[in-house]
């Protein structure tokens, strides 16, 4: 349906060719003029039709209206229904006025901040769904919100109609302090019993079979050679040692299990600018239930309309007390210990596993000690200011 009104007509009698020549001389905006099954037909904008009809009569021709197109003709049908027209006007006015309110906030989370953290910070500055945009200083709100999010170095708010697009950039950590001299020792990352030492550079300070504690010097990057000269090097080594890690796994012998009870029930709410209005009569629910939610949010093109429908599904259940036997509990604990051992074996070799089980205060507990073979070498920079000055 076109926006401007168009009149479809036919030449009922007279000389169509003479009429057409006269219309062209007058510059009439005729459209689609040609011969059809019922004679010559054409179209012209409504405002030119009276002049065209007079021109036809002057050239001994008669026009008949065959149809009308355009919104104007449809609205004219309702000219006596002022309420309908007023409703359309109010709707259009309300739609235009609603553009002054915030309908949606688009946020792409970064590695350091989540979308919810950004939305909470902006809400504290008055930037939330339903906010009156002309009354919000977006530049000031962005600056204050960024100070509440130390993980960001940049935050900007771009208004696109009734939507706000948030631009974010993570803060860059300052570089770690460097060791100017490059001199480095190798120390023990954790306590253990040394099994082998491969010193690539530096002076070896420990031997296989020796017990060491956390931080013990394994290979020194500062040592004296045979000529009595002090050498400074970046020590490197692979030091394999037996280490031990202990962990206690526990599981209750009595527990509560949820058993479904009855059919799920569905409830709906209208979400208008972030506020929810129930479409049901509230009542006190005596039964136990868990709720799951889904939201239908219509869009106007790429823009989310701040009117949605929330669906809540309540799944009812009963709590039943259950009891495990010690054998069942032990089987679960054995599985937990096995999974943990597999995680340890990703970085070390598991040499031995010792287990001890007991029942304490209604729980079955399993103490597990893992003996591992792993590399405990860790580099440690050496502060040598005299070398830095040189």
Q: Can you tell me the distance from the alpha carbon of 66 to that of 212, in angstroms, rounded to the nearest whole number?
A: 105
Would you state the pLDDT for residue 71? 64
Other beta carbons within 10 angstroms of residue 12's beta carbon come to 13
For residue 14, report the phi and psi dihedrals to the nearest 5 degrees.
100, -175
Q: Which two tokens stand for residue 265?
A: 């029930």
Q: Can you tell me the distance from the alpha carbon of 236 to that of 18, in angstroms, rounded to the nearest whole number?
A: 106
The burial class, CB within 10 Å (0-12 / 13-18 / 19+), for 63 is buried
CA angle, residues 112, 163, 146, in degrees to nearest 5: 30
Q: Can you tell me the distance from the alpha carbon of 306 to that of 274, in angstroms, rounded to the nearest whole number?
A: 7
DSSP letter for each residue of 53-74: HHHHHHTT-EEEEEEEESHHHH
pTM over 0.85: no
Task: Tell me the per-residue pLDDT of 143-162, one tens digit each, with 9 for 90 and over.
Answer: 888 888 888 888 898 887 77
* Residue pair 359/365 in contact by the 8 Å Cβ criterion: yes
Task: Tell me the per-residue pLDDT of 221-234, one tens digit each, with 9 for 90 and over.
Answer: 998 888 888 888 99
Nearest to 58 by CA among 26, 98, 84, 82: 26
Nearest to 158 by CA among 106, 121, 112, 120: 106
Residues of the chain with pLDDT under 50: 1, 387-390
């Amino acid at each position: 349906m076109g926006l401007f009104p168009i009149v479809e007509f036919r030449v009922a009698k007279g000389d169509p060719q003479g009429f057409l020549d006269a219309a062209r001389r007058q510059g009439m905006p005729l459209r689609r003029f040609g011969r059809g099954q019922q004679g010559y037909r054409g179209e012209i904008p409504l405002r030119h039709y009276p002049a065209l009809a007079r021109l036809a009569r002057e050239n001994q021709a008669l026009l008949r209206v065959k149809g009308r197109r355009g919104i104007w003709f449809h609205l004219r049908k309702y000219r006596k229904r002022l309420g309908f027209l007023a409703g359309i006007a109010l709707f259009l006015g309300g739609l235009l006025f609603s553009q002054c309110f915030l309908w949606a906030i688009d946020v792409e989370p970064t590695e350091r901040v989540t979308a919810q953290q950004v939305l909470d910070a902006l809400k504290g500055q008055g930037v939330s769904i339903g906010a009156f945009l002309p009354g919000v200083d977006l530049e000031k709100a962005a600056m204050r919100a960024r100070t509440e999010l130390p993980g960001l170095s940049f935050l900007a708010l771009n208004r696109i109609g009734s939507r706000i697009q948030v631009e974010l950039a993570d803060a860059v950590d300052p570089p770690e302090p460097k060791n100017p001299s490059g001199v480095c020792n190798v120390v023990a990352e954790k306590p253990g019993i040394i099994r082998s030492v491969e010193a690539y550079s530096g002076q070896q300070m420990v031997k296989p079979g020796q017990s060491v504690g956390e931080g013990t010097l394994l290979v020194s990057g500062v040592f004296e050679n045979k000529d009595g000269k002090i050498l400074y090097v970046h020590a490197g080594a692979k030091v394999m040692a037996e280490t031990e890690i202990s962990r206690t796994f526990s599981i209750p012998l009595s527990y509560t299990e949820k058993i479904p009870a009855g059919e799920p029930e569905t409830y709906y709410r209208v979400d208008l600018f972030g506020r929810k209005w129930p479409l049901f009569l509230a009542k006190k629910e005596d039964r136990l239930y868990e709720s799951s939610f889904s939201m239908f949010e219509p869009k106007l093109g790429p823009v989310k309309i701040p009117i949605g429908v929330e669906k809540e599904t309540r799944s009812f259940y009963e709590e039943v007390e259950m009891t495990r036997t010690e054998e069942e509990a032990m089987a679960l604990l054995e599985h937990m210990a096995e999974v943990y051992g597999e995680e340890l074996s990703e970085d070390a070799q598991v040499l031995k596993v010792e287990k001890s089980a007991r029942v304490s205060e209604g729980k079955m507990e399993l103490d597990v000690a893992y003996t591992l073979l792993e590399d405990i070498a860790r580099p440690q920079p050496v502060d040598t200011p005299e070398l830095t000055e040189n």
